[in-house]
Structure 1
């Protein structure tokens, strides 16, 4: 598949803030005044969201909480009159979920474990197709296509969990979505819904109900069954039950799951500081840099999501990373906290009570250097290390930048690479930051639409001084059965 890139305008960024949860504990960024936030701050916010949401997906991917999603999200599918017989777990040949993950540099084996649905409903000039689905014990992933006789805007703002029922019951939890416009009338997407799926059976029924797509009324009804069997059978689960003391919380690593599509660390905990003030994070230092037993950094897919209960002073969280080729003997975790450059919002507890968040902010120092054709170009990143631009090549209408990240967390550092034009505008990548290969884990590439040879451009990064790195809290998760 060929997916066209798209850029979100300034208005779209703030539209997404109504759905995005910084901490996945039912909070939203809803107190922002567009006129009061500078262009630079907006770029900083986007980078903050990239880190908290999923690596380097820019805003093509967003996270949300189902109980806090704003009215008017795009609903994609609905229930039918009866559940069809479950399809065999046959690999999906043109898997949308696989294609999108490949596009952004993730290497999970989605196609092999996806189950074909391939059901379409047309109403009011719009055809919605549910192409595929896959699931394990904690997540349901759905690949879909929307085709319209007329162009529909804002389909990147997707959130179907609000309309999801599993075995007839509404679900709670959060999720993430990604997608691209294939053309003006076709949008392909994949949504990952994190929720507690039935544990007493491998097979469960899915209902989704839709009567509005971006203001267009209609009826798109579907029902289908999904099996967890394929993924769970090929997943390895460890239950270390390790307890880690943090400054104002106690965290238990409940389980670590290595699956064909990702690596997930599930944690629970309680706040030890009863007077703890509301923060921009679920618990203190809830962004975890993870490394295997050879010291290679795991590529993050979604970190810091979860839920909390102010009555019991407890929380649950999930850290998702890319799937691993080899099973490590242990993981090393360095907790840190990313301080946003701007923010605000509300926290909604389990009882629906809202409390305003007072978010600490910090503007990181920026480092810019002009591309002058002389390499290497070094970009210092404070206590983390540095980026080294080795070469820049243009071929087939794509400019590829090859660079090395040296320091404490090379992949994390690599995602802080920017390219700016002569006006200072940050350019959107054509292909996102990718690790060269596992043999060269600190070598990266990123691609852009071919640069104009008659214009000046800057390579840029930050000093990462808005990241509080707690090496003193570093710990190991031993992976013993």
Structure 2
């Protein structure tokens, strides 16, 4: 039988069932409130979450995975124009062309055809792109849901992760699943990989009914990551950052062509006032001013926690890949209270640009707002010292009743923005064609620790 934590790793939680005042620092970080509504990924990260926190679930479904043998698939590591992972992850990073393995094999069962399109693997992440074709109409909020089980050389890979999904047409959608690899798990260069989708839980459009479609859909293939291993740097450091009652030690930075990982330990002094309960976060830039995008994290509890089983494990924050031309990496720690305060919105007129002041150092400059085909297109740029992960997505539109408009995730260019000089296009659903109001939030929830900023010379490491 599967390990209980492996099974819990894929249980879905409705955060609305929990009062956010009950969430501790680990829960908050894992659910990624720090990026507010900008982060569209649905996060799943419950293995260590369940081991280190006490949550009671009303109902827990444990799914037994049945092994279904198919002929092995041999992945081809070749560049592909417009590949799925690159489009989801970072279209500007041409390294995905080099290090993405193309599978493109399909399996059909019980009205669902699953195509395993691509995988990309480095020491930090395991990324899987798959396409699902169904025999019924899909709706934006009623995807059939199932997360893949990954086995490498006979061992199951568990870690934090996320899922992004996109509807292709009425009966087809594509997903990109990401499994973040903890430091204590070493992925070999040569791998026999098994990826399995066990069952699908299909939810009705009104979310009131669901039904289970039995699988499994399973794929076996061999792949090597030796090429990317040869381009990977592990920089050992010991950087201590003390801020109020939080003591953080950054231990190492792992840099691959596809991702960047900061590994660290932290603990709290709960007798020191004031008490801050969230770990520090990080802003990463290079010598050209480009920002790395946050991609995920995994937090170990305070190292002083009694009966903590994984004291040798390190926490980490995961970011996008460092550009090949970067000479230096700058790391700036900051603290987020997760208490985002919205500022009063302004009525949109024809007078552009609109300047939305967030604080003394940060603002959003809105250059254009256009209505067409039931959508509202907003073009703006971020200015300030906080980085795109913090500012991006803090622009809000409201209708004439001051109700916030929903974003249209199928359009816009969030994923392609890497610099404060870039123009951002954000798209909203036009609710009632009435007056539009625009707003942002202040940055009172963010404290940048400029005095603790430090640099790493990439050429000498």
The interval holding the TM-score normalised by the smaller chain is 0.7 to 0.9
Report if aligned partners of 1:79, 1:208 keep a CA contact under 8 Å in 2. no
1:193 maps onto 2:179 in alignment: yes
Structure 2 residue aligned with 1:203: 190
Alignment partners' CA distance in 2, 1:335 and 1:32: 29
C-alpha RMSD of the superposition:
4.0
1:168 maps onto 2:126 in alignment: no
Tell me how far 1:395 sits from its aligned partner: 6.5
1:56 maps onto 2:38 in alignment: yes
Distance 1:114 1:188, change over 3 A: same
Structure 2 residue aligned with 1:348: none
Which one scores higher on RCO, CA 8 angstroms, separation ≥ 6?
A: 1
Query: 2:350 aligned to 361, 373, 379, which one?
Result: 373
Structure 2 residue aligned with 1:307: 300
Moved more, 112-121 or 448-457: 448-457
1:417 maps onto 2:412 in alignment: no
Alignment partners' CA distance in 1, 2:187 and 2:320: 27
Structure 2 residue aligned with 1:288: 282
Query: 1:88 aligned to 72, 76, 79, which one?
Result: 76
Tell me how far 1:125 sits from its aligned partner: 1.2
Per the alignment, in what secondary structure is the counterpart of residue 441 of structure 1?
Answer: coil
Structure 2 residue aligned with 1:325: 323
Alignment partners' CA distance in 2, 1:226 and 1:126: 26
Distance 1:63 1:306, change over 3 A: same
Per the alignment, in what secondary structure is the counterpart of residue 165 of structure 1?
Answer: strand
Structure 1 residue aligned with 2:86: 98
Alignment partners' CA distance in 2, 1:183 and 1:130: 18
Give matches, 1:345-356, under 5 Å: none
Structure 2 residue aligned with 1:349: none
Tell me how far 1:242 sits from its aligned partner: 3.3
Structure 1 residue aligned with 2:337: 339
Structure 2 residue aligned with 1:401: 378
Alignment partners' CA distance in 2, 1:372 and 1:222: 55
Tell me how far 1:301 sits from its aligned partner: 2.9
Structure 1 residue aligned with 2:214: 217
Tell me how far 1:57 sits from its aligned partner: 3.9
Alignment partners' CA distance in 2, 1:124 and 1:367: 51
Query: 1:131 aligned to 109, 117, 123, which one?
Result: 117
Tell me how far 1:212 sits from its aligned partner: 1.7
Query: 1:115 aligned to 83, 86, 101, which one?
Result: 101
Q: 1:402-458 deviations in whole A, cap 9, x for unaligned?
A: 3232221252323311222223223304534549977x7334222326858952111
Distance 1:219 1:168, change over 3 A: same
Number of aligned residues: 414
Q: 1:335-385 deviations in whole A, cap 9, x for unaligned?
A: 122223xxxxxxxxxxxxxxxxxxxxx351424111111122111112442
Identify unmatched segments of 5+ residues in structure 2.
1-9, 23-27, 51-56, 202-211
Distance 1:333 1:170, change over 3 A: same
Per the alignment, in what secondary structure is the counterpart of residue 99 of structure 1?
Answer: helix
1:184 maps onto 2:200 in alignment: no
Per the alignment, in what secondary structure is the counterpart of residue 100 of structure 1?
Answer: helix
Report if aligned partners of 1:202, 1:229 keep a CA contact under 8 Å in 2. yes
Give matches, 1:203-282, under 5 Å: 203-214=190-201, 215-233=212-230, 235-247=231-243, 248-259=246-257, 261-262=258-259, 264-271=260-267, 273=269, 281=278
Alignment partners' CA distance in 2, 1:390 and 1:256: 38
Distance 1:271 1:230, change over 3 A: same
Moved more, 420-429 or 93-102: 93-102
Tell me how far 1:396 sits from its aligned partner: 7.6
Tell me how far 1:208 sits from its aligned partner: 3.4
Structure 2 residue aligned with 1:41: none
Distance 1:463 1:157, change over 3 A: farther
Report if aligned partners of 2:353, 2:365 keep a CA contact under 8 Å in 1. yes
Report if aligned partners of 2:406, 2:428 keep a CA contact under 8 Å in 1. no
Per the alignment, in what secondary structure is the counterpart of residue 350 of structure 2?
Answer: coil
Alignment partners' CA distance in 2, 1:470 and 1:240: 22
Tell me how far 1:224 sits from its aligned partner: 1.9
Alignment partners' CA distance in 2, 1:276 and 1:166: 45
1:140 maps onto 2:140 in alignment: no
Identify unmatched segments of 5+ residues in structure 1.
1-16, 21-27, 38-44, 341-361
Tell me how far 1:114 sits from its aligned partner: 1.8
Structure 2 residue aligned with 1:298: 291
Q: TM-score, normalised by structure 1?
A: 0.73
Alignment partners' CA distance in 2, 1:187 and 1:279: 42
Structure 2 residue aligned with 1:441: 420
Tell me how far 1:181 sits from its aligned partner: 1.5
Per the alignment, in what secondary structure is the counterpart of residue 307 of structure 1?
Answer: coil
Structure 1 residue aligned with 2:208: none
Tell me how far 1:238 sits from its aligned partner: 4.4
